[in-house]
Structure 1
Amino acid sequence: MIELSGLTKRYGEKVAVDDLTFTVRPGVVTGFLGPNGAGKSTTMRMILGLDHPTAGDVRIDGRHYHELPDPLTYIGALLDAKAVHGGRTARSHLLWLAQSNGIPAHRVDTVLETVGLTAVARKKAKGFSLGMSQRLGIAAALLGDPRILMFDEPVNGLDPEGIHWIRGLMKSLAAEGRTVFVSSHLMSEMALTADHLIVIGQGRLLADTSMADFVADNAHARVRVRTPDRERLLDALHRAGLTAQDAGDGVLEIEGDAAERIGELAAEHRIVLHELSVRRSSLEEAFMRLTAGAVEYHAHQAPPAAPWGADSRAAASGTGGQAVARTSAEG
């Protein structure tokens, strides 16, 4: 179990993590979500003792990280897949980690096989692709057979087979009763993997809830209807106080989860329906809605480039403009 209590980290005037309190419990995959700059990486670094909190406390199974005698046997983590000495082979990298944490050497071969790197065990890490480096980082996290595992963007660089594999691995680890804490920007993947969500924005806790409750609380539903009796259905909906919008291709959409009511109205008025379905927001839509006010970096669509006309030539009277004009002429 990972327990945070009032965890705060300041860098001068900048508050990176702001009074975070939550618990990551065993037996489920807990997703850690937040926009860029929300404080996720800083929080994970403080859990591992790599950064010291300005205030508050974080404990791993009741102890601070520096109090753990052989830390890799308590918590395994992947924060930076490329944080490996390039001159070491995959096997030697894992072997020194094992020896420094009192882990039997046979675990090295076990985890190399688990992550699919046995064939390249004696190749140097500097030649590894990002996907191979991810697998090596996951092997290091599993090395001490810990009860707690923490992954930051574990699917980066993995191919579809690798993504499917890591998804299954995290679920199986949680099913064994382990604590699994994973950060990712891939909402579609998180929706398939996580059971519980911790969401932060600008360093503050925004949500600590189950996946199902998060989507239900921050999403909305729409009912899609298709019928050859469009006008009659519109009249029936209007009399019932329901507003329909044209969604194109002959489809009407009604906000809310009113499928049963619409079906009953259609039956009552003997209106034939070709489609009656409920569309609920995805995890990504729910996440965007919740964190809209906590996004630090906003991108804006660039305006279309002005044609090289009279106004542009007039603006190019300075040195830079002359350089652009010459380049254009020479091209």
Structure 2
Amino acid sequence: MIELEGLTKRYGGTVAVDHLTFTVRPGVVPGFLGPNGAGKSTTMRMILGLDHPTAGDVRIDGTHYDRLKDPLTCIGALLDAKAVHGGRSAYHHLLWLAQSNGIPSRRVAEVLETVGLTAVARKKAKGFSYGMGQRLGIAAALLGDPRIVMFDEPVNGLDPEGIHWIRNLMKALAAQGRTVFVSSHLMSEMALTADHLVVIGRGRLLADTSMADFIRANARSYVRIRSPQRERLLDVLHQAGITVVEAGGGALEVAGGKAERIGELAARHGLVLHELSPRQASLEEAFMQLTADTVEYHAHAGPAAVPQDRGAGWKGA
């Protein structure tokens, strides 16, 4: 379990993390989300004792990180896939981590097999692709068979097979009763992986809730309907107290409606439906809605944002 209470980090006059309080519990996969500059990486660094909080407290299974006797057996983390000495092989990188934490050397071969790097175990890390570096970082996080794992952008650089693998790995670790904490900007991946969400913006907590409740509270779900008997359908829905919004292409939309109820009403009145489709809001839509006022860096697409071709002789400033 990871517990944050009033966790705060200031850099001069800048507040990077602002009184964060939440708990990461075992048995689920919480997604840690926020726009760029929201304070996610700083928070994760403070959990691991790499940065010291200005105020507040963070504990790992009730203990500060710097007081853990063998930290890798308690919490394993991937924060930066490039944090490897390029002149070391994958095997020797993991071996020195194992020896310095009292971990049996046999674990090195086991985690290399787990992440699929056995064939390149003796190759130097400087020759690894980014995805291979990610796998090595995940191997290091798993080395001590820890009760808690924490990953920052774990799918970066991975191919589709690798993404599928890490997704299933995180779910399997949670199913074993371990604590799993993962940060990512890939909303589509978080929607498939996370059970719970912790969302921050400008260092402040915005949400700490289940995935379903987060989407329900911050995005619009509706039922889309099309019928050749449109006017009769409108009358039936209005008589049933169902609010309808007209959409493009002759379609109708019912916000928060139940497709089953609408289908039964249409059948009862002999109405033909060409479409009756529930539309579930996405995690990305809900995230964009909630964090719109906390985004620090805005990009703008348009004619002024894209340089135009001025001819072969033109030189920019």
TM-score bracket, normalised by the shorter chain, equals: over 0.9
Structure 2 Cα separation of the partners of residues 265 and 274 of structure 1: 15
Q: Which moved more, 1:184-193 or 1:146-155?
A: 184-193
Write the distance in 2 (CA, Å) between the matches of 1:98 and 1:269: 71
Partner of 1:26: 26
Look up the match of 2:161: 161
1:81-110 C-alpha deviation (Å, 9 max, x unpaired): 011011000000000000110111000000
Greater than 4 Å deviation, 4+ residue runs? 238-241, 304-308
In the aligned structure 2, how far is the partner of 1:285 from the partner of 1:17? 25
Aligned-partner SS, 2:296? coil
Deviations 1:57-103 (A, max 9, x none): 00111111100111111100000001101100000000000011011
Q: Which has the larger radius of gyration?
A: 1
8 Å Cα contact 1:150-1:180 kept in structure 2: yes
Report the TM-score when normalising by structure 2.
0.93
| Cα distance, 1:213 vs structure 2 | 1.5
CA separation of 1:241/1:224 partners in 2, compared to 1, >3 Å: closer, same or farther?
Answer: closer
**Unpaired stretches in structure 2, ≥5 consecutive residues:** none
* Equivalent in the alignment of 2:244: 243
Counterpart CA distance in 2 for 1:59 and 1:268 is 59
Matches within 5 A, 1:134-173: 134-173=134-173
**Cα pair 2:194 2:211 within 8 Å, conserved:** yes
**Equivalent-residue separation in structure 2 for 1:181 and 1:100 (angstroms):** 24
User: RMSD value over aligned CA atoms?
Assistant: 2.0
Percent identical residues: 77
CA contact (8 A) 1:234 1:244 kept: no
- Relative to structure 1, the CA distance from residue 238 to residue 225 in structure 2 (aligned partners, 3 Å threshold; closer, same or farther) is same
Alpha-carbon separation, structure 2, partners of 1:79 and 1:89: 20
| Number of residue pairs aligned between Structure 1 and Structure 2 | 313
CA distance in 2: counterparts of 1:325 and 1:295, whole angstroms? 36
Q: Is the 8 A contact 2:242 2:254 kept in 1?
A: no
Match of 1:193 in 2: 193
Secondary structure in 1 aligned to 2:10?
Answer: strand
Change (3 A) 1:289 1:307: closer
Shift of 1:224: 0.9
Say if 2:244 and 2:252, in contact at 8 Å, map to a contact too: no
Q: Does 1:44 align with 2:30?
A: no
User: Matched residues in 2 for 1:172 and 1:326: separation?
Assistant: 56
| SS of aligned partner of 2:30 | strand
Shift of 1:327: 2.1
Return 155-164 or 206-215, whichever deviates more: 206-215
**For residues 168 and 196 of structure 2, what CA distance do their matches in structure 1 show?**
16
